[in-house]
Amino acid sequence: MTVEYHELKVKAVIPETPDCTSFELEVPKGLREAYRYRAGQHLTFRFPWDGFEVTRCYSLSSCPDLGEPMKIGVKRVQGGRVSNWMNDNLRVGDSMLASVPEGRFVLDPGTRSGTPLFLFAGGSGITPIISLLKSALATTNRPITMLYANQSRDSVIYRAELDELAAHHPDRLSIHHHFDSDRGFVDEAGIASILHHTDTAELYICGPEPFMDLVERVLTRAGVHEELIYVERFVSPLDPDREHAGGLDVTSLEAPEAFSLWLDGRSRTVPYLKGRTLLQCAQAAGLSPPHSCESGFCGSCMSAVKTGSVYMRAHEALSSRDVARGVALLCQSYPSSPEPLELDADSTSFRAPSAVKSSYGKAWSTVAAAAVFALMVAGTLVLRLVP
Ligand SMILES: Cc1cc2nc3c(=O)[nH]c(=O)nc-3n(C[C@H](O)[C@H](O)[C@H](O)COP(=O)(O)OP(=O)(O)OC[C@H]3O[C@@H](n4cnc5c(N)ncnc54)[C@H](O)[C@@H]3O)c2cc1C
Ligand code: FES
């Protein structure tokens, strides 16, 4: 099944800072169900561009739990194509081709109430973070600590909204602003100083690459378990005119005839179709693992490689630590050895707690199945022995 795209109209254009604009989007009545989303998710947009098409993801900064109009915030990137075009040209009434919402940078509904939540945002990384923040405030009683780093006071996106949230929830929300213009870039000590109860907390990071790397490093040093850290990387795909020439001939790779894919709590056997990505093979077998951009930059199709090995054509959405840990993007992966290949698409983000929970779930379902089987055998014996 391919990702659904529909034309969405811009219904409001809101200047946020000198280099960031928000756009409210109108979802036609008949598509409301398709565009239901969770806080932290994004839309992928397609734009015609000089004879070819470019795709970009933008996170939803609105909160679905508050019934807010669907909204994205787009910050200019120096030399960037789409972000500047949108800031300069997009007007009320214009339409854009947008995918249905996707993404795994979401709150885990299974998290125990009261679990501390840490949010780290840098610059435009605030867009999914503010959505998570509003959702956690509206639907949980979790204490929330947030660090928001910006170049200067002028570049704080959603300042008024953040101030209002902090004023309304003084007992469980503390927001720490950092301005490079005052003290230089945020450093390790600044991040470490706001951490507490990190053995149980869940932590979400979104911002420029060096900011995210720094926060991840501090959290790792503080002993935070990687499964508790959620990361969203803001990257662009390689546009067709920027595509690298060459690349590996994937049909020459040795591969097993089929691979196993954990999806929706069940292991499925998927025939491998030579030269097709693992995502395409799963789709050909009638499965629909989470996916969105199909270009390796949104991270929606992240899966854990349990056994065997894969070759990825691109993996912009992953850090080198992710790759070393065995995270693969189904939309970019091909088997690269004849060994049996097993992947887990249920491992939300490879690091998400639900990954831990789902593996506990799988272990528990095995134990439960064994227990049921033992009871059935015992029942049969009792029936045979009872005269
Ligand atoms: C899941 C997800 C959610 C996102 N959410 C948001 C959001 O809420 N808000 C937001 O503002 N952004 C968000 N982004 C980032 C967004 O998708 C774009 O990456 C960003 O807007 C930059 O796109 P652009 O077309 O303006 O820049 P691009 O044209 O992609 O260029 C980016 C930079 O790379 C340089 N560059 C790249 N390739 C070349 C090349 N071959 N030659 C020369 N220069 C090159 C450009 O000069 C520029 O500096 C998100 C990304 C993802 C994956
Ligand atoms: S679907 Fe976006 S990275 Fe695979």
Query: Are 13 and 101 within 8 A, CB to CB?
Result: no
- Residue 104 CB less than 6 A away from ligand 2: no
Q: Is 331 in the pocket of ligand 2 (CB under 6 A)?
A: yes
| pLDDT attached to residue 239 | 83
Which tops the pLDDT comparison, 265 or 379?
A: 265
Q: How far is the CA of 94 from the centre of ligand 1 (A)?
A: 21
**Whole-angstrom distance, CA of residue 125 vs CA of residue 158:** 12
Residue 372 pLDDT class (50, 70, 90 cuts): very low
pLDDT over 80 at 53, yes or no: yes
Mean pLDDT, rounded, for 158-163: 98
- In angstroms, the CA 272 to CA 256 distance is 7
User: Which atom of ligand 1 is the closest one to the Cα of 232?
Assistant: 1
What pLDDT does residue 305 have?
96
Q: Say which ligand is closest to the CA of 289.
A: 2
- Residue 289 Cβ contacting ligand 2 at under 6 Å: no
Q: In what order do the strands lie in the sheet with 5-17?
A: 52-59, 42-49, 95-99, 5-17, 20-26, 70-75
- Please tell me if the CB atom of residue 256 comes closer than 6 angstroms to any atom of ligand 1: no
Probe target for ligand 2 pocket from 104, 293, 303, 349, with the most ligand atoms within 8 Å of CB: 293
Q: Is the CB of 293 under 6 A from ligand 2?
A: yes
Q: What mean pLDDT, rounded, does the chain reach?
A: 88
Query: pLDDT band at 285, cuts 50/70/90?
Result: very high
- Among 41, 45, 236, say which to mutate for ligand 1: greatest number of ligand atoms within 8 Å of CB: 236
- Specify the higher pLDDT residue, 100 or 248: 100
The pLDDT value recorded for residue 237 is: 84
pLDDT score at 242 = 77
In this prediction, residue 270 carries a pLDDT of 97
Question: Topology of domain 248-344, per CATH?
Answer: Ubiquitin-like (UB roll) (3.10.20)
| Mean pLDDT across 3-22 | 96
**Does position 344 have pLDDT exceeding 90, yes or no?**
yes
pLDDT value, residue 58: 98
Tens-digit pLDDT profile for residues 222-247: 999 888 999 999 988 888 787 655 56
Does the structure show a pLDDT above 70 at 378? no
pLDDT at 283: 92
What does each C-alpha distance from 194 to 68, 94, 211, 215, 362 come to in angstroms? 30, 43, 16, 12, 36
Q: What DSSP element (H or E) covers 180?
A: helix 180-183
What token pair was written down for 367?
């134990």
Please report the pLDDT score of residue 116 as a whole number.
Answer: 96
pLDDT (0 to 100) of residue 384:
47
Q: Is a pLDDT exceeding 70 seen at residue 371? A: no
Residue nearest to atom 18 of ligand 1 (CA): 236
CB of 296 sitting under 6 A from ligand 2: yes
Q: Which atom of ligand 1 is nearest to the CA of 85?
A: 26
Quickly count helices (H) and strands (E) in the chain. Answer: 9, 18
For residue 144, give the 3-state DSSP assignment: strand
Closest residue CA from atom 24 of ligand 1? 80
**pLDDT for residue 226:** 83
Q: What CATH number does domain 117-232 carry, 3.30.360.10, 2.60.120.10, 3.40.50.80, 3.40.50.620?
A: 3.40.50.80
User: What average pLDDT score do residues 170-186 get?
Assistant: 96
Q: Give per-residue pLDDT as tens, 65-123.
A: 999 999 999 999 999 999 999 999 999 999 999 999 999 999 998 898 889 999 999 99
Domain ranges of the chain: 5-99, 117-232, 248-344, 355-387
Rounded Cα–Cα distance for residues 341 and 373 (Å): 29
CA of 134 to the centre of ligand 2 (A): 26
Q: Where are the beta strands (DSSP E) in the chain?
A: 5-17, 20-26, 42-49, 52-59, 70-75, 95-99, 117-122, 144-150, 173-179, 202-206, 229-232, 258-263, 266-271, 302-307, 310-312, 327-329, 333-335, 342-344
Beta-carbon contacts of 198 under 8 Å, excluding residues fewer than 6 positions away, are 118, 219, 222, 223, 224, 228
The pTM of this model reads: 0.81
More confident residue, 209 or 59: 59
Q: What is the pLDDT of residue 250?
A: 86
Residue 251 pLDDT exceeds 90: no
333 pLDDT above the threshold of 50: yes
| Confidence at residue 286, expressed as pLDDT on a 0 to 100 scale | 93
CA of 83 to the centre of ligand 1 (A): 7
Is 172 a residue whose pLDDT tops 90?
yes
CATH number of 5-99: 2.40.30.10
Atom of ligand 1 nearest to the CA of 61: 8
Give the mean pLDDT of 136-141.
96
Average pLDDT over residues 327-340: 95
Ligand 1 atom closest to residue 54's alpha carbon, by position in its atom list: 25
Residue 51 has pLDDT above 50, yes or no: yes
What is the per-residue pLDDT for 348?
A: 60
* Mean pLDDT (whole number) for 351-379: 41
The phi, psi pair for 88, rounded to 5°, reads -85, -30
Measured from the Cα of 301, ligand 2's closest atom is: 4
